[in-house]
Structures are given as C-alpha cells and as structure tokens.
Amino acid sequence: MDNIKLNTLTSASQLQIGDAKEIHLTLNALAMLRDTEIWFDHEGDLKNSPIFNRPTIFPALYEPLIVKTNNVKGKIEVGKVNILGVASSSLIQIGSNECMKLESRIKHIRHLTIPPNENSNELKNDDER
C-alpha cells in the first residue's frame, strides 16, 4: 500500500488491512441534550428503551454471487486511500472477508424548553417516528 490517510476512527469501527474470516462490530448508543441538568431514574439504562431490545433482522440474500478473481501479483495493491471519518460500527477493509455482522443502534433524545429556531430541523424522539 502506497498511502492511506484516515482522519477519525471511532465508536466500534474498524480499519482492517488484510484478510479476515469473521468480523463482528456492535454499537449501542444513547445521546441526550437538555437545557437543564435533570436525570430520571434508569433513564440511561438501554434495556428500558425498545429500540435496543428489538431483535436484529438480517435480510436473506437470494441473488447469486458471482466472483471473478485475477491474482496477477498475488497481493492487494492500493495507490491512495483518503478517508475523512468512520463511525458507528462501520468497517473499512482492504482485503477479503468471509462473514461480517455490523450493527448500530443509536437513540437521540432532546428535551429543550427553548423553542426551536424556525430555520432548523426539528428532531423527534425515536418512539414518535
């Protein structure tokens, strides 16, 4: 590899250079924004939020997979890779992989008493969507 530049790698993410048999990445997150310091009992417990308790459903793959390989030099060559950021259970991989399972569940809660600016987008609680 000639050059790889990665600015930020966070939150259960991975940079994998080379082959891997299995990769499992998981991230559960809960972010809150309030204009006052209020904390309710068990509010940060992810078990109390339905989004973190639902079973993960992975889609079945029905289309046939056709693979053509031409290993002229027997190695992976990359000229230049420039990545600004990788986050929330994401994967950058240069190489082959047999199985990967990636999951990310984020719940964003905002309780602001100040009315939102008319020009800004209002974010709804996940339970309201």
User: What pLDDT digit, counting tens, does each position of 36-61 carry?
Assistant: 767 777 667 777 778 888 888 877 87
- Does residue 69 lie within any of the structural domains? no
- By C-alpha distance, which of 97, 99, 103, 125 is closest to 112? 125
Contact predicate 119/41, CB 8 Å: no
- Does residue 85 lie within any of the structural domains? yes
- Does residue 107 lie within any of the structural domains? yes
Q: Say what the pLDDT of residue 117 is.
A: 64
Letter for the amino acid at 63?
Answer: E
Name which residue leads in pLDDT, 129 or 14.
Answer: 14
Q: Say what the pLDDT of residue 109 is.
A: 77
Q: What is the span of the domain harbouring residue 14?
A: 3-52+78-128
- Does residue 38 lie within any of the structural domains? yes
- By C-alpha distance, which of 28, 30, 46 is closest to 107? 30
Rounded mean pLDDT, 83-101: 86
Q: Over the chain, what is the mean pLDDT?
A: 77
- Does residue 40 lie within any of the structural domains? yes
Confidence of residue 121 (pLDDT cuts 50, 70, 90): low
Q: How many domains does the chain have?
A: 1
pTM over the 0.75 mark: no
- Does residue 70 lie within any of the structural domains? no
Helix or strand holding residue 105 (H, E): strand 97-111
- Does residue 64 lie within any of the structural domains? no
- Does residue 63 lie within any of the structural domains? no
Query: Which DSSP letter does residue 18 get?
Result: S
